Amino acid sequence: MLEVVNLHAAVDGRGILNGLDLAVGPGEVHAVMGPNGSGKSTLSYVLSGRDGYEVTEGSVRFRGADLLALEPEERAAAGLFLAFQYPVEIPGVTNMTFLKHAVNGLRVQRGEEELDAMQFLKLVRQKAKALSMSDDMLKRAVNVGFSGGEKKRNEILQMAVLEPDFAVLDETDSGLDIDALKIVADGVNALRGPGRSMLVITHYQRLLDYIVPDRVHVLAGGRIAQSGGKELALRLESEGYAAFADKAAA
Amino acid sequence: MAATAQTVAQVRDLGKYKHGWETEIEMETAPKGLNEDIVRFISARKDEPDWMLDWRLKAYRHWLTMTEPTWAMVDYPAIDFEDIYYYAAPKNAEGPKSLDEVDPELLRTYEKLGIPLKEQEVLAGVQGAPRVAVDAVFDSVSVATTFKKELESHGVIFCSISEALQNHPDLVRKYLGTVVPYTDNFYATLNSAVFSDGSFVYIPPGVHCPMELSTYFRINAKDTGQFERTLIIADEGSYVSYLEGCTAPMRDENQLHAAVVELVTLKDAEIKYSTVQNWYPGDETGKGGIYNFVTKRGACRGDDSKIRWTQVETGSAITWKYPSCILQGDNSVGEFYSVAIANNAQQADTGTKMIHLGRNTRSRIISKGISAGRARNTYRGLVRMGPKALNGRNFTQCDSLLIGDRCGAHTVPYIESRNRSATVEHEATTSRIGEDQLFYCRQRGIGEEDAVALIVNGFCKEVLQELPMEFAVEAQKLVGISLEGSVG
């Protein structure tokens, strides 16, 4: 589904990704782990097309098409979703309004009919209920005054409503206590399915106890230093990143 | 989404300014330029009482002694006041008429603008909207007023000011010029001399006006100045909500619009005055567009009375207006909610004045300025606490949002307090539309223009929610349209 080949990317002229290769098949969940500064967030922004993240070499194909040629909203319409590490506040715009613009923005791009108010309300209520989110939260301005846990849960709600084919979860566990972590992980697991792939970017193994990956990759020095099964995450936890960082530098 | 998608489609269909077309209709104009004969002509054309003509002439003579104000933060070439038509009217449109007699071309014009002049219709595109009575002013004259009969049964007078001068001269004479005297300022004085039409509203004591009243102003003729005069009186214990909308064709020349609005509330009365101003703003390079030099002022004469101004200013090449409240009655309340959007080469210098005279008077100012392109947007406001304004209170919040790096926002608050018991608060913020916000929206599938409209609408929400429902929908769309092309 996603194929990254020899990806080099720079921010402000400084190289962050240095030849990253990654292939994620349909329905697979891959974890990318790495120390601070290894390029984890850069990878998520390059995939989603944020300004200022310049690809200097390599390719990213999504379902066979050139992902890098698309604008951010076109990537979203193609089925790519990014759960932000730091969800953004939009004062004065309710969650409901924001979601409606997103749902219909995607539908219009895909040449589908927009949902009317009733259809949309039904959809959101149903998804919110599954994540035990209150109606009150839907009426509040996007992420404004939300706790860390609420913000992350809000990201998962958006994912549930937008039903992407490929979701990148950028440090979704950061700032969560164990209860919030479970709720978020349950939400993510409920969305797992044969047609939906995920890239779970995380610092700690802890999240992977709840979202069990098919593959684990260690990102160090801007490239994948090692890949393996879920047991690799456990080894990392006990041995630390240092060994891999050396390997990447070599 | 529906509204915004529709907006995007409209913009694609009609270009950036969707009201830029022109109605071809036979016009009657007075010769260009201004002198006493023109003032007499306008007055005679309307068959006005002598006192009205005298008042106009006094204004004209006073105007000759005045110079244009230059303190506003706006630049424009000198206006040649001799190169303007001061009177332009569709032929045969004079005098009160029944709706059946209105020129079908005019009816089509308003239909195209989404303004219903047939009473069985409601404002275009809004399902279940409450009924709205409309006074349609086309260039210098009022061409139709709807729902008059029904309003009359409640004792409400809603008609053009020319008609009011014929049918209710005593009321007009009692109040005209009492809030904005003919000596007030350069443009208001000019207006007093040459005003051609506008709306008149009188709500009798104890009456809650049964529907929204609105006036729709359309400048059509070339080289024409529009000088309308609106007078609204809410008698004791009454209430009215009044809306005003404005558009004009796209022309390369600048056109002058110098209106005066006077509001009076007596004891326990309330007026809500809402404006969605969408005059032609000129093109991207700053060519053409309306000079919107307007004096709007309300007097809370009676105790416990209230005036609320809500304005959404998206159009005009230059906006110069300060809807104000004179809080004379004890416990009276003045409010001002404003969204001013300036894109491309537009310049806006707008704000309010809250003059506290009575005891326990309160005022609230919420101003949201949005600047994009090379535009300049200035908030200018005065809060004055008089010596008798015991326990007067004011709260002011001024927020500016910048889009891009070539525009400017300025805040010029004046505070004068001559009373130790008064409280005046002023808060101001300036922010840039966030790259992170735009990216967040786009990642969720919301296109860039739509994202800007969404974020800006969120920024303006406090003000937009003060508008009557059918205007709020229109205003939200306008916000999107007026910021077209401001990013990327």
Residue B311 token pair: 């304005």
Range with the lowest mean pLDDT among A77-91, B133-147, B421-435?
Answer: B133-147
In the prediction, which pLDDT does B4 show? 39
Predicted interface score ipTM higher than 0.90: yes
In the prediction, which pLDDT does B87 show? 80
Q: Tens digits of per-residue pLDDT, A97-132?
A: 999 999 999 999 999 999 999 999 999 999 998 888
Q: Which of residues 41-100 of A touch B (CB under 8 A)?
A: 48-51, 71-73, 75-77, 81-82, 84, 87-93, 97-98, 100
Residue A41: pLDDT band by 50, 70, 90 thresholds? very high
Between B467 and B401, the more confident residue is B401
Q: What is the pTM of this model?
A: 0.82
A38 in contact with B, Cβ within 8 Å: no
The domains of chain A, with CATH numbers, are 2-249 (3.40.50.300)
Angle at B289 between CA B6 and CA B33, to 5 degrees: 140
B459 in contact with A, Cβ within 8 Å: yes
Q: Where are the beta strands (DSSP E) in B333-405?
A: 333-342, 347-356, 362-371, 376-385, 393-402
When pLDDT is averaged across residues B235-264 and rounded to a whole number, the result is 83
Q: Which of residues 169-198 of A touch B (CB under 8 A)?
A: none
When pLDDT is averaged across residues A221-232 and rounded to a whole number, the result is 92
Encoded amino acid at B12, one letter: R
Distance from CA of A17 to the nearest CA of B (A): 21
Residue numbers in A near B5 (CB within 8 A): 104, 108, 114
Name the residue in chain B with its Cα closest to that of A82.
B443
Between B105 and A88, the more confident residue is A88
A41: Cβ contacts below 8 Å, ≥ 6 apart: A85, A170, A171, A201
Secondary element (H or E) of residue B262: strand B260-265
Distance from CA of A83 to the nearest CA of B (A): 10
B23: Cβ contacts below 8 Å, ≥ 6 apart: B105, B106, B108, B109, B220
Please state, in angstroms and rounded to a whole number, the distance separating the CA atoms of residues B305 and B298.
11
Residue A52 token pair: 């200022």
DSSP state for residue B31 in the 8-state scheme: P
B436 in contact with A, Cβ within 8 Å: yes
Across A74-88, B59-73, B126-140, the highest mean pLDDT is recorded for A74-88
Q: What percent of chain A has pLDDT over 70?
A: 98
Distance from CA of A87 to the nearest CA of B (A): 8
Please state, in angstroms and rounded to a whole number, the distance separating the CA atoms of residues B208 and B275.
20
Phi and psi of B254, rounded to 5°?
-80, 145
In the prediction, which pLDDT does B116 show? 59
In the prediction, which pLDDT does B131 show? 61
Phi and psi of B195, rounded to 5°?
-55, 140
Angle at B426 between CA B421 and CA B429, to 5 degrees: 170
Residue B387 token pair: 């010596």
When pLDDT is averaged across residues B132-143 and rounded to a whole number, the result is 67
Q: Among B444, B448, B454, B464, pick the best mutation site for testing chain A contact (most A Cβ within 10 A).
A: B444
When pLDDT is averaged across residues A204-227 and rounded to a whole number, the result is 92
When pLDDT is averaged across residues B18-32 and rounded to a whole number, the result is 69
A123 in contact with B, Cβ within 8 Å: no
Q: Tens digits of per-residue pLDDT, B403-416?
A: 888 888 889 999 99
Secondary element (H or E) of residue B255: strand B254-257
Q: Tens digits of per-residue pLDDT, A131-141?
A: 888 888 899 99
Test A72 with B442 for CB contact under 8 angstroms. yes
Please state, in angstroms and rounded to a whole number, the distance separating the CA atoms of residues A242 and A229.
19
Residue B245 token pair: 């909308």
In the prediction, which pLDDT does B129 show? 46
Please state, in angstroms and rounded to a whole number, the distance separating the CA atoms of residues B229 and B484.
32
In the prediction, which pLDDT does B21 show? 62
Across A22-26, B114-118, B214-218, the highest mean pLDDT is recorded for A22-26
DSSP state for residue B446 in the 8-state scheme: -
Angle at B168 between CA B130 and CA B195, to 5 degrees: 80
Residue B360 region, left (φ>0) first, then alpha (ψ -120 to 50), else beta? left
Segments in B176-333 forming alpha helices (H) = 186-194
A124 in contact with B, Cβ within 8 Å: no
Residue B434: pLDDT band by 50, 70, 90 thresholds? confident
Q: Are strands B260-265 and B289-300 parallel, antiparallel or unpaired?
A: parallel
When pLDDT is averaged across residues B368-382 and rounded to a whole number, the result is 89
Give the count of beta carbons closer than 10 Å to the beta carbon of residue B21: 16
A-B interface: how many C-beta pairs under 8 angstroms? 92
B484: Cβ contacts below 8 Å, ≥ 6 apart: B11, B16, B343, B449
Distance from CA of B210 to the nearest CA of A (A): 30
